[in-house]
Structure 1
Amino acid sequence: MALGQKSPRLALTQGFFSLALGLLLFSLLLFTIVDADEYDYYNWQADNFHNGRFYTKQPQCVDIPADLRLCHNVGYKKMRLPNLLDHETMPEVKQQASSWVPLLAKRCHADTQVFLCSLFAPVCLDRPIYPCRSLCEAVRDSCAPVMETYGFPWPEMLNCDKFPIDNDLCIPMQFAANHVTQPPVSNVCPPCDNEMKADNIMEHYCASDFALKMKIKEVKKEKGDRKLIAAQKKKKVLKQGVLRKKDLKKLTLYIKNGANCPCSQLENLGSNFLIMGRKVDQQLLLMSIHKWDKKSKELKFAIKYMKSHQCPTYHSVFQ
């Protein structure tokens, strides 16, 4: 989905989050909540000391910037710094949060954005409000298998045992009580479940170790994985990264745990593909696959943009 557009799924998530947040704010009136629009700094019981870490700056309320894509339009306009992941500056928040943007597109759980933004861009209150442990566990149980497809484990910084047991002072699941309206979870293989949009392509390009235009000779199943064997024809290297010459000569990619999930791109192997991937434990894992559609303006723009775009240098958490 292009920048600035809001999908029905995102709007629905925001609606439920806004409702729950309103109830949460009402319950916190006893703790003297201050309107975030009326101050730049707010009182925090622990002052500059939190989780064993001393901050050089007072906690602040700041606007959620439009380029914080993970949490812009999440349902509130201001966030606190430092956030609940110990990020003290907005550039640090943006760098770390951007690596989680593709997880939202995977639709692994309806509350993924609610959970992540409660930590990366917490709402401004007179005390930090953490996500409930049940919210963390629900998102983890649904999204960890998707992350593992790309070779990423559920990170320690999101260890659910760190979060409070459900009560009125933590952010609960938003869809638990209304399964009818919950957006459907996709069962498509995660690397195959990507829109042909330029910003989506560039997110995966920056997150991947390599990117190629190539043909696929054969697809096999192997120990629960799906194995993609490249054709011997010449491959166009868009980003070489960790690939060596011998890798390119005999190229094999894997979709982890992807033996049986649908992947429409692999139903017809006659065309060229845009392939992006990572090298994990000597295996080349598929990150994203698109049919090379010469008529696609989105693809043309992305390919042109790749030539000059400087990807962020941060270490990806999810992508």
Structure 2
Amino acid sequence: MSCGSEVCWRMFRLMVTALVVVMSGCGASEYEYLGWRTDAYNGGRGYGKPPQCVDIPDDLRLCHTVGYNQMLLPNLLEHETMAEVKQQASSWVPLVHKNCHPGTQVFLCSLFAPVCLDRPIYPCRWLCEAVRDSCTPIMEAFGFPWPEMLTCDKYPQDDVCIAMTQPNATEATRPTGSPICPPCDNEERTDTILENMCASEFAFKAKIKEVKRENLDRKVVFQKKKKLLKAGNLKKKDLKKLVLYLKNGADCPCQQLDNLGNQYLIMGRKVDKQYLLTGIHKWDKSGKEFKKAVKKLNTYKCPAFENVFK
């Protein structure tokens, strides 16, 4: 269909306005489209089939509540199959739950599950930078860097792009996360516990002997008796003298570390030569959600975090 530039632009604005109305009901903030990327799908690997609109499945947990029902596949991260999208997107669900920035889900889903239009629209560079700056400290607490595949410099700055609010709006740049140390800020829900387990290389049951401040971190020393639940690369001989560090956790609250009399489900990862505490849950035998999580520990299929956070 051909049309004059003025008519085409009006049609585009009407289409986008209608889309904004639909998407703004997702419970985050109002979406805005600030540009149009004309070189979409140029570069990167070649696709065996052209982009198509598909329904966002319920088990694509990162984006099934984002506010629209269909997405482009292949997506803007060059995932060609829905199985690949699900596997890669599931690694980001715990970060969205941490509420480190109000635009986290919008930013991620604009790439993992882009909304269906004639051409894909990329997230604004400032939105990427705001999410990155707010969420990187939480990611680093778990030993994950901001991945290269989400380098903000490659997203549009002046072209049309997906945003939440204007870049100078305080609600778009102010972190909304809890002041609690990220590994300690855990909901006692089965899926949350399992997600924490997946983000960790090893897990064990133990009591805490003592907690010491060491520079900007907290050093957690455990009693000798420990029950290994997920070994990862951790050997039993390493478990005996194992100490974990709460990264940048010298001053943030962690209620679990205040009570040294309880048994805890302890999770961790090795980053460089240091073992980091990535999750801690009170070993609550009476808790229905906790019992379900422990029962599923050995059979739960985790996403491959190492494929995402390179």
- Asked if TM exceeds 0.5, the reply is yes
Q: Name 1:15's counterpart in structure 2.
A: 27
Q: Name 1:129's counterpart in structure 2.
A: 121
- The code of the aligned residue for 2:276 comes to L
The correspondence of residues 191-270 of structure 1 with structure 2, limited to 5 A, is 191-232=183-224, 234-270=225-261
- Indicate the SS of the match to 2:31: helix
Q: Name 1:184's counterpart in structure 2.
A: 176
Structure 2: gaps of 5 or more residues: 1-22
- Indicate the SS of the match to 1:53: coil
Q: Which whole-Å CA distance do the structure 1 matches of 2:25 and 2:135 have between them?
A: 17
Give how far 1:271 is off. 0.4
Going from structure 1 to structure 2, the CA distance change for 1:235 and 1:13 (only over 3 Å counts) comes to farther
Q: Which whole-Å CA distance do the structure 2 matches of 1:316 and 1:293 have between them?
A: 33
Q: Name 1:272's counterpart in structure 2.
A: 263
- Say whether 1:154 aligns with 2:146: yes
Asked whether the equivalents of residues 96 and 104 of structure 2 are also in contact (C-alpha less than 8 Å), the reply is yes
Structure 1: gaps of 5 or more residues: 1-10, 32-43
TM-score, structure 2 as length reference: 0.85
Q: Name 2:60's counterpart in structure 1.
A: 68
Identity rate, percent: 63
- Indicate the SS of the match to 1:214: strand
Q: Which whole-Å CA distance do the structure 2 matches of 1:145 and 1:308 have between them?
A: 31
Going from structure 1 to structure 2, the CA distance change for 1:196 and 1:268 (only over 3 Å counts) comes to same
Asked whether the equivalents of residues 277 and 286 of structure 1 are also in contact (C-alpha less than 8 Å), the reply is yes
Asked whether the equivalents of residues 166 and 172 of structure 1 are also in contact (C-alpha less than 8 Å), the reply is no
Going from structure 1 to structure 2, the CA distance change for 1:217 and 1:299 (only over 3 Å counts) comes to same
- Indicate the SS of the match to 1:231: strand
Q: Which whole-Å CA distance do the structure 2 matches of 1:114 and 1:231 have between them?
A: 43
Asked whether the equivalents of residues 28 and 103 of structure 2 are also in contact (C-alpha less than 8 Å), the reply is no
Give how far 1:262 is off. 0.8
2:69 pairs, out of 63, 77, 88, with 77
Asked whether the equivalents of residues 82 and 88 of structure 1 are also in contact (C-alpha less than 8 Å), the reply is yes
- The code of the aligned residue for 1:205 comes to M
Give how far 1:316 is off. 5.3
- Say whether 1:164 aligns with 2:156: yes
Asked whether the equivalents of residues 206 and 223 of structure 2 are also in contact (C-alpha less than 8 Å), the reply is yes
Q: Which whole-Å CA distance do the structure 2 matches of 1:290 and 1:145 have between them?
A: 21
User: Residues 138-179 of structure 1: CA distance to partner in whole angstroms, max 9, x if unpaired?
Assistant: 001101111111121111111110000145x20123486463
- The code of the aligned residue for 2:222 comes to A
Give how far 1:237 is off. 1.2
- Indicate the SS of the match to 1:315: helix
Q: Aligned-residue CA RMSD in angstroms?
A: 2.6
- Indicate the SS of the match to 2:257: helix
Q: Name 1:8's counterpart in structure 2.
A: none
- The code of the aligned residue for 2:108 comes to L
Q: Name 1:6's counterpart in structure 2.
A: none
The correspondence of residues 18-37 of structure 1 with structure 2, limited to 5 A, is 19-20=30-31, 24=33
- The code of the aligned residue for 2:198 comes to C
Asked whether the equivalents of residues 134 and 173 of structure 1 are also in contact (C-alpha less than 8 Å), the reply is no
* Alignment length (residue pairs): 286
